[in-house]
Amino acid sequence: MIDYKSLRKIDPLLFNILQAEVRRQSDGLELIASENYVSTAVLEALGTVFTNKYSEGYPGKRYYGGQENTDQIETIAIERAKTLFKCDHANVQPLSGAIANTAVYFSWLEPGDTVLGMRLDHGGHLTHGSPVTKLAKLFNFVRYGIDTETGDIDYNQLRDIALKNQPKLILVGYSAYTRDIDYGFVKSVADEVGAVAWADIAHIAGLVAAGEMRNPFDYGFQIVSTTTHKTLRGPRGGMILTKGVVSNPLKNVEKKVENLPTLIDRTVFPGLQGGPLMNIIFAKAVAFQEALQPEFKEYAKQVMRNAKVLAQELTNLGFKLVTGGTENHMMIIDAIASFGLSGGELEVLLDKIGLTASKSMVPDDTRSPFDPSGLRIGTPAITTRGMKEDSMLQIAKWIRHVVDIRHDERQIQLLRDEVREYVRNFPLPS
Ligand code: DSN
């Protein structure tokens, strides 16, 4: 392992902050559904000399010399990604999930074109058409939501809006939704209106790769975008995968048919990005190798088992969960409906005892996104630390207990000590 001797010497201020962050991560528990702890191998891969290298272009076609090693690592990352997700094209260069999604829009659409995506306040992502994004100024987003009675995506509404608005892209995927997706139905709607079907699986990528949740490509989806750092447990970054060669007649240049994989590659570079971060691509390749191992399948199963137990125990203890439970790695507590606390208040309370979570909107939330009604929690990171069902019962009890003692700082401090003591048995993997 790196001993950070040089960092300590050159920049003690930052070294101290690093140490504090290591302490924060190891003394508490990460319940943010979109975070995870990378392995030592991934962490080592991030801190390599590949960070020194410019590699604009793609393997075999670069704009700088000295690419004999970078070409190999990017090719390996691509091949592993294709195997993991059962597809035939992968672009591993996007710097983030938001950039990956932006690249998909620019690959396939002209300004003003219509996209059907999920409402942010019903669980979609900012980049799926939220009016606050620059994307929403360029493209015409129409949005579906969930059926608040059933908690499921309102598939009938999705189809009605698609038929009415004839989108060129239909996008499914979410940041705060606890069910799997009926990709078969969505693809049939996309076929009906001649749209390309696209899934953003950022949250569930690891669960899809492990075969524990549906793979959109099995249902004919043409595009999948994702981040690599959530359930997939790699370095922070994005990726775009495609299957099949769909050509876009609108994008024909000099009578050459432009197909989807080519358009995506050209949009990522040189369309949006310059040099890819090769140390990150190196680390992505390492994470993909880890995800291909049988142990990763067991990990994904445990993430989902843990989520079910945690959701059930929270419910037993009086918390109200959006959709009543979970089919994936996350759950959303309706904090207002449960105990009259806002999501923000519960987040702060949990922080005080070393449990990190993120406030979240609940469907049709009447509160502001800065202090919404819900709190989202997830099990990917705590499962990486080796926690199993019995720890989920313990965590649920802590969450309930801190609500009860919220006005008693001394008791909160005692509970903080108890959490710190307990998590010592579950060291960080790296
Ligand atoms: N920010 C991520 C999340 O927490 O869901 C999505 O990009």
Express each pLDDT in 172-184 by its tens digit: 999 999 999 999 9
| Segment (H or E) for 352 | helix 343-352
Cα of 409 vs centre of ligand 1, distance in Å, is 31
CA nearest 286: which of 12, 44, 26, 117? 44
Distance 59 CA to ligand 1 centre (A): 30
pTM, to two decimals: 0.95
Q: What's the confidence (pLDDT) of residue 1? A: 54
Kind of pairing, strands 358-360 and 114-118? unpaired
Tell me the CATH number for domain 299-423. Answer: 3.90.1150.10
Secondary structure (3-state) at 77: helix
Which stretches of 353-407 are DSSP H helices?
380-384, 389-404
Q: Which atom of ligand 1 is nearest to the CA of 203?
A: 5
> In which residue ranges of the chain is CATH 3.90.1150.10 found?
299-423
Degrees (nearest 5) of the Cα angle 413, 414, 420?
A: 90
pLDDT of residue 254: 46
Q: In the structure, which protein residues have their CB atom closer than 6 angstroms to any atom of ligand 1?
A: 34, 97, 125, 175, 202
Of 32, 35, 175, 375, best ligand 1 pocket probe by most atoms within 8 Å of the beta carbon: 175
CATH T-level assignment (fold) for domain 46-291: Aspartate Aminotransferase; domain 2 (3.40.640)
Distance from C-alpha of 385 to C-alpha of 70, rounded to nearest angstrom? 32
Measuring CA to CA, how many Å separate 342 from each of 34, 201, 324, 333?
21, 28, 18, 10
Dihedral over alpha carbons 35, 41, 45, 46 (to 10 degrees): 30
CB 115 within 8 A of CB 169: yes
Whole-number Å distance between alpha carbons of 255 and 249 = 9
- Cβ–Cβ < 8 Å for 221, 191: no
Mind telling me the catalytic residues? 54, 56, 200, 227, 230, 236
- Report the atom number in ligand 1 closest to the C-alpha of 358: 4
Do 357 and 375 form a contact (C-beta atoms < 8 A)?
yes
Extract the residue ranges of the chain whose pLDDT is less than 70. Answer: 1-2, 248-257
pLDDT, position 246? 73
